[in-house]
Amino acid sequence: MATKHQGNQIVKAASATVRSTDEETLNITPDTHRLVLALAEVHQHQGKPKDAGEELKQLYQRNRGDVIVRLSLAELLLENFGGKRNHQTVIRLAKGINNASELHAALLLCKAEALRKLGLLTAARDTLTATLRRKKNRSDELLQALRYERILVYEELGEQKRMRQELEKLYADSPDYEDVAQRLELDP
């Protein structure tokens, strides 16, 4: 916390940096929206996903267009809560999202995962393929996650040859990613 003197007034300005997603960090300033988002992240890291979910739902109700809130809520639902209803909610959170930024692409990844978990494999594949068309200004981690999710979709579609090709490409770029080496039977 920093204190600044302005004339006879003392202005206190607090700020903190909080990781909101694997791709983004937030600089938190004393604004209710950001503070509630930070609180939700703290709850999630403390193993209190229900509390985090309540805060994120409140933020989403106040500002449905906030991509960070939508992404945080989608990730929370996928990581901590299963079920058809939550997967459908993730898909709704991604409604109208295009591939404009890294955050948008991450939300599309969540959408594809939810589609896969609902058994909507062609829609999941198409979402991932479209998202992977734009690589500029996308982190390697996000691109790897998109590619891996598409591999899982190919597997569930029964497209073994295509799955193997994509596994080999991902291994060539990132040999330590997830269980790629194991899936290719390259582990000792």
Q: What is the pLDDT of residues 141-172, one digit of tens each?
A: 999 999 999 999 999 999 999 999 999 999 99
Residue 90: helix, strand or coil by DSSP?
Answer: helix
Q: How far apart, in whole angstroms, are the C-alpha atoms of residue 92 and residue 125?
A: 18
Q: Using CA of residue 43, residue 49, residue 54, residue 57, what is the dihedral sign? A: positive
Report residue 19's pLDDT band, with 50, 70 and 90 as the boundaries.
low
Q: Is the pLDDT of residue 4 over 70?
A: no
The pLDDT, as a whole number, for residue 27 is 60
The pLDDT, as a whole number, for residue 34 is 77
The pLDDT, as a whole number, for residue 29 is 54
The pLDDT, as a whole number, for residue 16 is 54
Report residue 41's pLDDT band, with 50, 70 and 90 as the boundaries.
confident
**Burial (CB count <10 Å: 0-12, 13-18, 19+), residue 12:** exposed
**Poorest-pLDDT segment among 44-48, 65-69, 121-125, 126-130:** 44-48
The pLDDT, as a whole number, for residue 148 is 98
pTM for the model stands at 0.81
Q: Is the pLDDT of residue 37 over 90?
A: no
Neighbouring-strand partners of residue 13: 2
Q: Is the pLDDT of residue 30 over 80?
A: no
Across 107-170, where does the E strand assignment appear? none
The pLDDT, as a whole number, for residue 142 is 97
The H or E element that residue 71 is part of is: helix 67-80
- Beta-carbon contacts of 2 under 8 Å, excluding residues fewer than 6 positions away, are 12, 13, 14, 15
Give the distance from CA 53 to its chain's centroid. Answer: 15
Would you state the torsion angle of the CA atoms of residues 122, 126, 127, 132, taken in this order, to the nearest 10 degrees?
Answer: 140
Rounded average pLDDT over 44-62: 90
Q: Is the pLDDT of residue 13 over 50?
A: no
Residue type (1 letter), 22: D
- Beta-carbon contacts of 118 under 8 Å, excluding residues fewer than 6 positions away, are 84, 87, 88, 91
For residue 48, give the nearest of 89, 15, 81, 16 by alpha carbon: 81
Rounded average pLDDT over 12-24: 54
DSSP strand pairing (9-13 vs 16-19) = unpaired
